[in-house]
Every structure is written in structure tokens, then in C-alpha cells.
Amino acid sequence: MIEQILSYPWFPDIMAGLIAGIISAFLLPRLAKLALKIQQIFFRKFVQSLLATKMRISFISFGIGIISTIIINNIGCTGDGSKYGFEGTDTIWRHDFDDNESAVKHFTISSKQKKKGKSSLAFEIHLQYPSESDTAGNVYVDLRLDPRFNDEVNMTNKIITCWVFVPEDFPIPHEHPRHCPNLRLFLKDAGTNSLYGHTMEIDIAGHWIPLELSVNPQPGEGVRNKVRRDINFEPSMVRQLGIKISANPNWPIRYEGKLTFYLDAVDW
């Protein structure tokens, strides 16, 4: 009987169907649960990884935002494309000498005048002449305090440019324009050796005037444009960058007063 059943040609198909039924009834649900559990685990891991990635991106974005805010507020170097555009609320620029000796008393970021962007560095000049003090003053930046550099800066073959606004009430002796106070760009290296650009007489008021300093002037340019360069000045280790305002000893005006100049778009 059994041999006869086994000899039927349809027997293998029946057995295959029976085995498939058993697998479907007992194994597939368990396999399905296992597959679902594996899927859930991988999905959870994927979601956690995605969330972690988003958090990292969020933290990175937050950090970049904080750094950008610090740079903008404390350096004022962005907004108009210049190295120093004074577009923030504070600056690392300073003035030197004793307040009782320097013609530059204090400064602030101001939107009253701007060559580029939305604001500039306003610095108040207490210029007196003739006088034993308040006849000169510097406004400068220590490049080591700038987080973009954190060290002396290589200015070799660079050309420094900036703009200075002269107030409308600045007294100009039109009959002696070359005897006016003057402006100069300057650099100081790590050894305090200096390079001063050509002298720009302030012979116009109520306008922006350009200043320029070639760090490596051509032979003869120093004599022609009154460039003063200390013999040991090292252009690859510049520590300070600034402008100097000075009263001319031949200024034929006795003057004492407060004037606000503006500096903007310092670049190289």
C-alpha cells in the first residue's frame, strides 16, 4: 500500500505542498517577526544616526554662527569685502601714546560716514598747534590679536590701501596747501622697525581721501614719495598696521578743537 502510494507520480508534488504548508504555518511567522525586528533595529539605528548627524550639523552651524558674530563684532572685517571694513559693533583697532600726549583721544564704530558697507571707524582728533602735545597721533591694529592671523603677517610685495574721511570743518589754509596736517599709512614689524608711506597733505575737507603704502617700493620711490623705511624693517613679520596724523610745523593756523575723522576699507 505504502509502496503503491510512493510510486504515484503526483506524490512528490503532494509532499512538496505539505512541506510548504508546514513552513508557512510555523516558520514563516517566526521569520517574519525576526525580519521585522531586524528591520526595526536597523531603522532605529538609522534614525538615531540621522538625528545625531542633524545635531552635529546644528552644533556646527551654531558654532560657526557664534564665531562669525565674534569676528564681525570684534574685528569688523566683513561686510564690504575689505580686511577691515568696521561693519561690527566693536573693533580691535587702538590708538597709542598717552591720552594727554596723543592727538587721537578715542574712537568708535559709526554709520555717519562710510566709504563701503554700512559703517566705518570714527576717531576723534584733538589737534592743537602750536603745542608741545596733541600734534600727532596713531590709530592702529595689532595683527596678532586678529584670530584670522594670530601672529605677525607676511606683507611682502603687498600694497596697503585705505580711505580716510576729512570732516567739513577741518581748517585748511588754501594759500599754503602744503603746510596742512598730513596722514600716512605705516607698518611695524616684530622688532618695532617701521615703514611709513608717502605723506598725504590734508588739503581738502568734507571728502574721502585715499591712502596707499607699497610694502616693497621700487628704487627711488622712497625719495620721490617721502617713504620712510627703517633699514632693518622685515616685511614678512608685520605686527602693526595703522595711520598717523601729524600737524605740519609750518601750519600757519593756530587751531585747537575736536574733529572727527573716519577710517574705512583697509585692505591689501
pLDDT digits (tens, 9 = 90+) for 145-162: 999 999 999 999 999 999
- pLDDT at residue 266 greater than cutoff 80: yes
Q: Determine what percent of the chain is predicted with pLDDT higher than 90.
A: 39
Predicted pLDDT at 235:
95
The structure's pTM equals 0.66
Class of domain 93-267: mainly beta
Domain ranges of the chain: 2-67, 93-267
The answer to whether the bond into 173 is cis (omega within 30° of 0) is: no
**Hey, what's the torsion of the CAs at 164, 211, 75, 62, to 10 degrees?**
110
Q: What is the DSSP letter of 218?
A: P
Instruction: Count each helix (H run) and each strand (E run) in the chain, helices first.
Output: 4, 12
Residue (of 147, 81, 146, 85) closest to 121 by Cα position: 85
pLDDT tens digit string along 214-251?
998 554 444 445 688 999 999 999 999 999 988 776 66
What size, in residues, is the chain? 268
